[in-house]
Amino acid sequence: MSQVVEKARLRKQQLDARDGLSLDFIKITSKEIQDNLRKIELYRTAKTIGAYYSIGSEVRTQDILQEILNAGKELALPKVVKNDLVFKKISSFSELEQGNFSVMEPKDKCEIVKNLDVVMVPAIALSKDGFRLGYGFGYYDRYLHGKKSTTIALSYAKQVIKSFSHDVHDVKMNFIVTEDRVIKT
C-alpha cells in the first residue's frame, strides 16, 4: 500500500475515533493536558508562543490561550495566506475571525510574528518518536521546516501510536503532551 493511501487510511481511522469522544472526556482530558503542558520548562519560560484555536474534537486550547495571554506572553495564532501559514500576534479573542476550514484566525490587521520560542501543533495521530499525522495539507510542516522553535503537539493518549510511515518533509515534534504524560522525543 502506498504511503499516501496508508496515511489517508490512518487519518480517517484516527479522526473517526477522536470524533467519537464524548464532550465530557474532551473537557476533562484537555484540562489534564493543560496541566501537563505546564511541566515543560521551555514552555513555561517562552516569551513568544504560537498556538492554535481548537476546532471539533481537538484538544481544547481556549483555556491554554487565555492562560498565555493572562501571563503577559506574546501569543500568535496561525492564519492561512495563499498556501502557507503565518503566525499573527493577538492580545484578545476579539482579534479573531472565522477563516479557512472554519478555523478561528487572527484578523488581517494583526502583526506577523517571525520568531516563536514555542509552537503548539494540532495532530490527528502521533508516533512515539514524535512524528505527527496532521490534516494532510502540509501547512505546519512547511511553516516549521528550518525553524528553531520548540514544537509541542497536544494529543489524547489514545492518539499516540507505536509508529507510522513518514516523509522526509515531516517535521518531528520535540514534545508530545497527553493527559497521562509528557513525552520528550
- Per-residue pLDDT, averaged over 138-161, amounts to 92
User: For residue 132, which of 109, 156, 153, 158 has the smallest C-alpha distance?
Assistant: 153
What does the pLDDT read at residue 83?
85
pLDDT score at 1: 55
DSSP-derived pairing of the beta strands 118-121 and 84-90 = unpaired
Q: What is the pTM for the complete model shown?
A: 0.92
In CATH, the architecture of 3-184 is 3-Layer(aba) Sandwich (3.40)
- Edge to edge, the sheet with strand 74-81 lists 84-90, 74-81, 48-50, 118-121, 150-154, 175-177, 182-184
- Give the separation between CA 17 and CA 128, rounded to whole angstroms: 18
> Cβ(63)–Cβ(30) under 8 Å?
yes
The CA–CA distances, whole Å, from 124 to 25, 59, 100, 153 equal 17, 10, 18, 10
Q: For residue 16, give the H/E element and its range.
A: helix 3-19
**Contact 58/25 with Cβ under 8 angstroms?**
no
User: When comparing pLDDT for 168 and 23, which is higher?
Assistant: 23
Q: What is the mean pLDDT of residues 40-64?
A: 96
pLDDT in tens, 97-110: 998 778 899 999 99
pLDDT cut 90: percent of the chain above it: 73
d(CA 156, CA 152): 13
**DSSP codes of every residue in 108-170:** TTSPB----SEEEE--SEEETTS-EE-SSS-HHHHHHTT--PEEEEE--GGGEES-----TTP
Q: What is the mean pLDDT of residues 143-161?
A: 93
